[in-house]
């Protein structure tokens, strides 16, 4: 197994005035240093954070910077997203050095795209999401096309949602659990399930579900979904209990994945895994019920072709209910190489 990692909350930094740019820079640089970036690479992170925060103020007036670490077999990376709700901007113009709509030098996005290993953006009349990922220069492992947006209710340090991903050559195994309610007891329930899953993430989904059910007994319990993708077989297995939403999305169609009623750690009828064939090239999206279910990526022309992290951030921005923890996991189903 080359990578096996689990939940971490998305850190949200509000960008509403110029005084917050320095805080964003320091926060991102400190996170990079905590995860082993040397002075030069941490400096790149600091530069990109400064430009992203400045870009929000220039083009939107206010917005958010989302920050998280990216565990990898070879170490860790840093992900930063600039998220706003302003009118879209001309990306090609903004990437040209010297272009500015805010009276500044205009060195921003062109410099950002050169300093980062992953750069992607989506902008329309609803606003924009700009993604950057940075890895230490000696880390040559490819970027994984996975996006995760996880936020607790009212920024509570305890989150009742958990996610867990495992990669092994052509195999991907993904878990999302939503502990009943929110807060510390919901988190305790969900973490008990995640700990069980992490021991054998590639066990058959039904067997993994049964083990998680036993691990969550005596807690509040929760809703659960497990998806296992095998690129070599072009197939996906899925089992769900409760109201974790899941769907497969191709450029021209989407299909929901069926779950069973019940509560893991409480009661549910005997579950079965469902098989889905010919899924290579599609997106798998899994989300807790903190996200509304009535969204359609076709309402966002071209978004299905963007990086999964951009998609996850836009779904959270536009469809978060605002009354529960929320987790969105977006995975591009394709061959994965270590």
Q: Where are the beta strands (DSSP E) in the chain?
A: 3-6, 11-15, 63-72, 75-84, 118-124, 127-134, 146-151, 161-168, 171-179, 222-230, 235-241, 245-250, 253-256, 274-277, 283-287, 326-332
Summarize the confidence of residues 82-105 as an average pLDDT.
62
Return the pLDDT at 100: 45
Q: pLDDT of 41-62, one tens digit each?
A: 999 999 999 999 998 998 899 9
Over 60: is that where the pLDDT of 106 sits? no
Q: What whole-number percentage of the chain has pLDDT above 70? A: 92
Return the pLDDT at 99: 47
Q: Return d(Cα 15, Cα 57) in angstroms, integer.
A: 7
Return the pLDDT at 298: 95
Q: pLDDT of 225-271, one tens digit each?
A: 999 999 999 999 999 999 999 999 999 899 999 999 999 999 999 89
Return the pLDDT at 103: 41
Q: pLDDT of 222-233, one tens digit each?
A: 999 999 999 999
Mean pLDDT of all residues belonging to the chain? 92
- In 35-100, where does DSSP find H-type helix? 39-59, 91-95
Over 90: is that where the pLDDT of 195 sits? yes
Six-digit token string for 148 = 């995760």
CB 222 within 8 A of CB 162: no
Instruction: Order the strands of the 222-230 sheet from edge to edge.
Output: 3-6, 161-168, 171-179, 222-230, 235-241, 274-277
Summarize the confidence of residues 307-314 as an average pLDDT.
98
Summarize the confidence of residues 80-88 as an average pLDDT.
89
Domains of the chain: 8-134 (3.30.565.10), 146-332 (3.60.40.10)
Q: Return d(Cα 274, Cα 185) in angstroms, integer.
A: 31
Six-digit token string for 47 = 């530069």
Return the pLDDT at 306: 97
């Amino acid at each position: 197994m080359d990578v096996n990692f689990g939940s971490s909350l998305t850190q949200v930094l509000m960008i509403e005035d110029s005084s917050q740019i320095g805080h964003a820079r320091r926060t991102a640089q400190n996170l990079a240093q905590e995860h082993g970036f040397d002075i030069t690479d941490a400096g790149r992170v600091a530069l990109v954070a400064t430009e992203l925060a400045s870009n929000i103020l220039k083009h939107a007036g206010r917005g958010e910077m989302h920050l998280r670490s990216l565990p990898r077999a070879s170490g860790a990376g840093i992900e930063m997203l600039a998220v706003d709700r302003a009118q879209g901007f001309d990306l090609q113009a903004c990437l040209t050095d010297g272009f500015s709509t805010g009276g500044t030098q205009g060195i921003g996005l062109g410099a950002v795209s050169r300093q980062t290993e992953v750069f992607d953006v989506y902008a329309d009349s609803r606003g924009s999401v700009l993604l950057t990922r940075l890895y230490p220069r000696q880390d040559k492992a490819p970027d994984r096309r996975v996006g995760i947006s996880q936020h607790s209710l009212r920024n509570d340090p305890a989150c009742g949602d958990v996610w867990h991903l495992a990669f092994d050559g052509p195999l991907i195994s993904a878990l999302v659990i939503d502990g009943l309610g929110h807060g510390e007891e919901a988190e305790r329930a969900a973490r008990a399930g995640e700990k069980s899953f992490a021991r054998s993430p590639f066990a058959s989904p039904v067997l993994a579900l049964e083990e998680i059910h036993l691990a969550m007994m005596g807690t509040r319990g929760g809703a659960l979904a497990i998806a296992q993708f095998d690129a070599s077989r072009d197939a996906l297995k899925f089992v769900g209990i409760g109201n974790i939403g899941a769907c497969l999305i191709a450029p021209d169609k989407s299909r929901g994945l069926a779950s069973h009623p019940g509560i893991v750690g409480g009661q549910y009828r005997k579950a079965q895994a469902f098989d889905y064939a010919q899924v290579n090239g599609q997106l798998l999206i899994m989300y807790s019920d903190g996200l509304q279910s009535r969204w359609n990526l076709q309402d966002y022309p071209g978004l299905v072709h963007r990086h999964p992290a951009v998609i996850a951030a836009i779904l959270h921005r536009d469809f978060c209910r605002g009354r529960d923890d929320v987790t969105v996991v977006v995975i591009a189903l394709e061959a994965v190489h270590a």
